[in-house]
Chains A and B, each alone.
Chain A
Amino acid sequence: QKEVEQNSGPLSVPEGAIASLNCTYSDRGSQSFFWYRQYSGKSPELIMSIYSNGDKEDGRFTAQLNKASQYVSLLIRDSQPSDSATYLCAVILSTYNNDMRFGAGTRLTVKP
């Protein structure tokens, strides 16, 4: 079992809709979670980090963390065509504080 699992998609939503991206992780002791966005042919860039259970909002993005269920999600409200990218979930493993693992990524397409 991989440490971080994501649905590979692709996920397609119409412009203006809510996109929901999900991630599960296997290390129950993990404390630090991240969502990165990667445009085709580019490097990943950070969207959100979350460390506590509950929701964290930043503009149109909301990250949700449920440590009991080992589940992290990212909601994108009012989706725009410019949000079309691959979204990568990342987790720092508890065993070694600097071991950061990524999921396979979910490809999102927002259709005008």
Chain B
Amino acid sequence: NAGVTQTPKFQVLKTGQSMTLQCAQDMNHNSMYWYRQDPGMGLRLIYYSASEGTTDKGEVPNGYNVSRLNKREFSLRLESAAPSQTSVYFCASKFGQGSSGANVLTFGAGSRLTVL
């Protein structure tokens, strides 16, 4: 059982280049998330997808686009990378809602992105 798989684990880009971070989960989860983590700032929500076919902005969506390709996959695209997007990116997923284990996030291993 792989859980949440992110690719690539490391990437170096030049300013203005584009790239896509891939995320896939095999737990039949409905909701998927992209967070970025910078020193001293915790996890900041970029975008999330509550269910297949829907996406919503989080607190820091500017400069990013997402695609919920199917129930398993949720990708994050940087169209024109900027040094301010240097960060560690985490994909996460959860089953659903309610006061239960359905709300627990499972995280991928993270993707470290450097923009020069």
Contacts and interface: CB of A to CB of B under 8 A. Distances in A.
Nearest to A86: B42
B77 interface: no
Contacts of A98: 31, 48, 50, 56, 94, 97
A92 interface: yes
Given A34-B104, A43-B107, A49-B103, A97 B48 contact: no
Contacts, number: 63
Give the size range of B's interface with the partner.
20 to 34
B105 A51 contact: no
A27 B54 CA distance: 23
A17 interface: no
A45 to B, nearest CB: 8
Contacts of B56: 96, 98-99
Contacts of A101: 45, 58-59
Interface string A34-56: 10100000011110010100000
Given A43-B90, A43-B109, A99 B42 contact: no
A32 B103 contact: yes
Given A104-B41, A105-B42, A99 B103 contact: no
A73 interface: no
Most buried by B among A88, A98, A105: A98
Interface string A1-39: 001101010000000000000000000000110101000
Interface of A: 3-4, 6, 8, 31-32, 34, 36, 43-46, 49, 51, 88, 90, 92, 96-105
